[in-house]
Amino acid sequence: MRFFVLGANGNTGREFTDLALAQGHQVTAFVRSPEKISRKDKGLTVLKGDPGNVESLVEAMKGHDVVISTLGTGGFAAFKPHDLLERMTPCMVAAMEKAGIQRVFFVSVGLLFKGGGLPAALFRFLLRNNNEDSRMGEKALTDSSLDWTIVRPPGLAKNNDESYHSLEGGIPPKAFRMSFRALAKFMLDSAEKQLHSRKVVGLAS
Ligand SMILES: NC(=O)c1ccc[n+]([C@@H]2O[C@H](COP(=O)([O-])OP(=O)(O)OC[C@H]3O[C@@H](n4cnc5c(N)ncnc54)[C@H](OP(=O)(O)O)[C@@H]3O)[C@@H](O)[C@H]2O)c1
């Protein structure tokens, strides 16, 4: 398959690129800082671009099967008001429609599900700005006629664990933490097996 990855320099994007290339897929990494990518795989194309520029997205996207959106606002900026996904996701949707691509995976946040008790309520409050930005990104997709899967992971960690549990429409049991790699593996598996079309999916390790 030909994957078009937004946020390929981030934690999830890097893991997705690694897994997809290892499975023999082709990956186009559409990034603002191509110099950050040092790997030279046969199946990898690195393009410099702005995910907020619809016209350049359209040209770059043409011919791909699946778009993977792993954009996000990391670090302390995640706690402050921001609108990255609110601004970028409509551009991605518009570009996909123009380029004739239907399938997309969008990484959102598990905290948009209700429940989880007091710990989740605390994190929901602390990360309210990030949650709101993700919610607006989700809305751009659910308002579209694209074949989307919205993925809502719990807190993410850097390790090589690739195991995950998924649940359409809710939080799987013990959804405290999982790895970036397992999140990427879920999206790759679901793309390959054509699962979770127009579903919001909760993940756990
Ligand atoms: N981390 C967690 O624990 C966690 C938990 C649940 C959900 N999530 C969600 O998962 C998603 C991915 O998280 P992550 O930790 O993998 O993200 P990340 O490592 O912070 O990477 C985000 C990517 O977005 C890119 N980006 C940010 N602003 C951009 C801009 N203005 N223009 C172009 N590219 C831009 C960054 O590019 P550069 O590399 O060029 O900076 C980076 O590659 C986020 O939406 C996050 O809310 C994260």
| Cα 71 to averaged position of ligand 1 atoms, centre (Å) | 4
Length of the chain measured in residues: 205
Whose Cα sits closest to atom 46 in ligand 1? Answer: 72
68 pLDDT band, cuts 50/70/90, is very high
User: Would the CB of 179 count as within 6 Å of ligand 1?
Assistant: no
Question: What is the rounded average pLDDT for all residues in the chain?
Answer: 97
Which amino acid appears at position 45 of this protein? T
Separation between Cα atoms, residue 29 and residue 125, nearest integer Å: 33
Residue 172 buriedness (CB in 10 A; 0-12 / 13-18 / 19+): middle
Count of H-run helices and E-run strands, the chain? 6, 10
Instruction: Give SS3 for 179.
Output: strand
Atom of ligand 1 at shortest range from CA of 180: 16
| Cα 36 to averaged position of ligand 1 atoms, centre (Å) | 14
Closest CA to 9 of 87, 72, 81: 72
Is the pTM here over 0.75, yes or no? Answer: yes
Specify the CATH superfamily of domain 2-204: NAD(P)-binding Rossmann-like Domain (3.40.50.720)
User: Has residue 175 got a pLDDT over 80?
Assistant: no
Whose Cα sits closest to atom 5 in ligand 1? Answer: 155
129-172 pLDDT, tens digit each: 999 999 999 999 999 999 999 999 999 999 999 999 999 999 99
User: Has residue 174 got a pLDDT over 90?
Assistant: no
Most informative mutation of 33, 70, 86 for ligand 1 (most atoms within 8 A of CB): 70
33 pLDDT band, cuts 50/70/90, is very high
Separation between Cα atoms, residue 8 and residue 163, nearest integer Å: 21
Residue 131 has a pLDDT of 98
Separation between Cα atoms, residue 178 and residue 152, nearest integer Å: 11
